[in-house]
């Protein structure tokens, strides 16, 4: 047997193809965020279906039946990706300026404010190259990781404000701080991303993402538009995203990651509470035909209730003393 055939026979593998064996040169990722959708109507059940167990598993339960956790596109802020690549130290590999439209634009991590006031609307490109220029031109819905099998660990952070150089260096060098960030095992996700914490398989994105659901259910669009951080220019481009995440000869099958946004959730709940207060205040400020405000009527009614309760309490006390 010729030597080359003998070597080929010895190295033959009957195992099926996998992302690891295929050695794809890149993978696209769709960053999303955890949010809260609030509504007193039926649109809430449609826009915010119950999250699967691997999404938001550690979140505290929400009070009331008119607020629910949901997955939404990104809002205005900054996205940082910290990586530990083979034979390299931790470092901030890339940073993105994020917009209420759900789009991203790559910025230099140590000077992200350069694009802070720059408006972004429709996407003109699909994927950002993390190893390309320090500042990308067109906006995109997804980000692209080159040489994904070289990434031993990835930590992601979304923040409304840019990080300082000191904080970037501290996260890269101080593991207790870095370990508080969300962790994504890119190598494992290349093989399978189903039921992985904070990760969405491409086949489930359109059924989980509130912005995609609103496109399929137009009657819920007004509900979503009334949420905090909603932008009328946000037109989630599912066809572009699907093409970005699709497996190809050089690109592994992509996936979505859902990022924590505790500040955004808190502000959404506060906004919902304030809206309810303002509705009550508008009712109290309304006057009748004689010019008497509802607030005065409520105060008078409450005064009568207080007098009645005090009278009943005093009567009960006098009656008790009578029997002593």
- The per-residue pLDDT for range 37-83, each reduced to its tens digit, is 999 888 999 999 999 999 999 999 998 889 999 999 999 999 999 99
Say how many C-beta atoms besides its own lie within 10 A of residue 59's C-beta.
14
Alpha carbons 304 and 181: distance in angstroms, whole number = 56
Cα dihedral 228→231→237→242 (10° resolution) = -30
Alpha carbons 114 and 214: distance in angstroms, whole number = 33
Single out the residue of 4, 74, 65 nearest to residue 37, CA to CA: 65
Q: Which residues of 78-92 are buried (b: 16+ CB within 10 A; e: fewer)?
A: bbbbbbbeeeeebeb
Say how many C-beta atoms besides its own lie within 10 A of residue 255's C-beta.
24
* 202 and 177 Cβ atoms separated by less than 8 Å: no
What is the tens place of the pLDDT at every residue in 210-236? 999 999 999 999 999 999 999 988 899
Mean pLDDT of 275-285: 57
**Confidence band, pLDDT 50/70/90 cuts, at residue 20:** very low
Alpha carbons 293 and 298: distance in angstroms, whole number = 9
Map tokens 């030597």 to a residue: 3
**Confidence band, pLDDT 50/70/90 cuts, at residue 286:** low
**Confidence band, pLDDT 50/70/90 cuts, at residue 7:** very low
Q: Is the pLDDT of residue 293 over 50?
A: yes
pLDDT at 114: 59
The torsion angles phi and psi of 63, rounded to 5 degrees, stand at -80, 135
Helix/strand/coil percent split, the chain, to 5: 40, 25, 40
Cα dihedral 228, 235, 139, 122 sign: negative
What is the tens place of the pLDDT at every residue in 71-84? 999 999 999 999 99
Cα dihedral 239→264→262→112 (10° resolution) = 80
Token readout for 21 is 């064996």
DSSP 323: H
Q: Tell me the CA end-to-end span of the chain in Å, nearest whole number.
A: 116
Map tokens 């598993």 to a residue: 57
The torsion angles phi and psi of 252, rounded to 5 degrees, stand at -75, 160
Alpha carbons 170 and 191: distance in angstroms, whole number = 32
* 168 and 176 Cβ atoms separated by less than 8 Å: no
Q: Is the pLDDT of residue 251 over 80?
A: yes
pLDDT at 157: 98
pLDDT at 121: 47
Alpha carbons 324 and 322: distance in angstroms, whole number = 6
What are the structural domain ranges in the chain? 19-276, 288-323
Map tokens 């309490």 to a residue: 313
The kind and range of the H/E element at 307 are helix 294-323
């Amino acid at each position: 047997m010729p030597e080359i055939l003998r070597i080929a026979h010895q190295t033959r593998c009957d195992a099926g193809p996998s992302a690891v064996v295929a050695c794809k040169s890149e993978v696209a990722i769709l960053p999303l965020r955890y949010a809260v959708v609030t509504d007193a109507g039926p649109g809430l059940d449609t826009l915010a279906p119950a999250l699967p167990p691997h999404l938001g598993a550690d979140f505290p339960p929400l009070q009331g039946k008119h607020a629910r956790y949901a997955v939404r596109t990104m809002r205005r802020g900054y996205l940082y990706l910290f990586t530990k690549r083979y034979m390299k130290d931790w470092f901030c590999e890339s940073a993105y300026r994020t917009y209420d439209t759900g789009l991203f634009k790559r910025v230099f991590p140590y000077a992200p404010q350069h694009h802070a006031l720059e408006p972004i609307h429709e996407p003109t490109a699909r994927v950002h190259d993390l190893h390309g220029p320090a500042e990308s031109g067109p906006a995109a819905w997804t980000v692209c990781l080159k040489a994904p099998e070289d990434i031993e660990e990835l930590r992601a952070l979304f923040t409304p404000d840019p990080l300082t150089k000191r904080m970037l260096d501290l996260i890269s060098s101080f593991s207790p701080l870095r370990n508080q960030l969300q962790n994504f095992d890119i190598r494992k996700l290349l093989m399978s991303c189903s039921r992985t914490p904070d990760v969405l398989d491409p086949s489930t994105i359109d059924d989980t993402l509130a912005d995609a659901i609103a496109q399929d259910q137009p009657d819920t669009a007004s509900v979503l538009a009334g949420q905090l951080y909603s932008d009328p220019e946000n037109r989630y481009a599912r066809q572009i995203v699907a093409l970005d995440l699709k497996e190809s000869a050089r690109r592994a099958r992509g996936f979505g990651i859902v990022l924590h946004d505790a500040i955004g959730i808190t502000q959404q709940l506060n906004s919902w509470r304030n809206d309810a207060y303002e509705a009550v205040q508008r009712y109290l400020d309304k006057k009748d035909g004689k010019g008497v405000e509802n607030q005065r009527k409520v105060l008078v009614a409450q005064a009568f209730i207080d007098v009645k309760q005090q009278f009943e309490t005093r009567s009960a006390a006098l009656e008790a003393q009578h029997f002593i």
